[in-house]
Amino acid sequence: MTPEVRTSDLDDEILDESVESRNKERIFTIIALTIVAVLTIADLVEDRMEGASLPHLLTEGFVVLAAVTGALYLMRKVLRKSRATNRELYADMLSARGDAQKWRREASSLLQGLGVAIDEQFENWNLTEAEKEVGLLLLKGLSHKEIAEVRSTSEKTVRQQAASLYSNGNVEGRASLSAFFLEDLLLSVGPAPSES
């Protein structure tokens, strides 16, 4: 199973940057229109107290109305875009979560199968329980010192158990042990066999 590769990822990234830039411009414009409305309202109140003419007051009132309407319109657009983006992100998150759960289920059965195979091979090699535990910890990548700490034993004991494991398994060391179990899991590097 190969991941789906989208050819328009770069286009989507450029589009996202463009949308983000446009939203920043809209927010700046909303702030500017709000400042215009507030200052015009203050001027309108002052003009009213000074007895300004009705046409002047109506003109300033229209400026306030236009600024508030413009700010509300842009705010609505920004909120709609944010909601749409949030819905897309939520859908992507649910999809990714579903993919992760599916992968965990599939990998879990494979890992359980590998665990059973490793345990069976250790049984075939007639390893003691301690040697089996050391073998599993070696396969997980722990050092002799770390294994000694985990098992509350000396590093010398761990080295002896590892040497016994290598001898019984007829492997040369940690790398050979790992290769013994992983070799068949990895794809071959050479050319695929041809079918006749």
Range of the domain at 86: 18-106
Give the pair of three-digit tokens for residue 94: 């649910």
Mean pLDDT by 10 residues, the chain (196 residues): 49 66 87 93 92 92 93 91 89 91 81 84 94 94 94 95 94 92 66 54
**For residue 115, what pLDDT is reported?**
84
C-alpha span between 37 and 69 (Å, rounded): 10
CB atoms within 10 A of CB 12: 10
Q: Please give the tally of structural domains in the chain.
A: 2
**For residue 82, what pLDDT is reported?**
87
**For residue 3, what pLDDT is reported?**
47
Query: pLDDT tens digit string along 97-130?
Result: 999 888 888 778 777 778 888 999 999 999 999 9
Residue 155's alpha-carbon distances to 31, 131, 132, in angstroms, are 68, 13, 16
Whether residue 114 lies inside any domain: the answer is no
**For residue 156, what pLDDT is reported?**
96
**For residue 2, what pLDDT is reported?**
45
Average pLDDT over the chain, rounded to an integer:
85
Q: Do 49 and 100 lie in a common domain?
A: yes
Whether residue 191 lies inside any domain: the answer is no
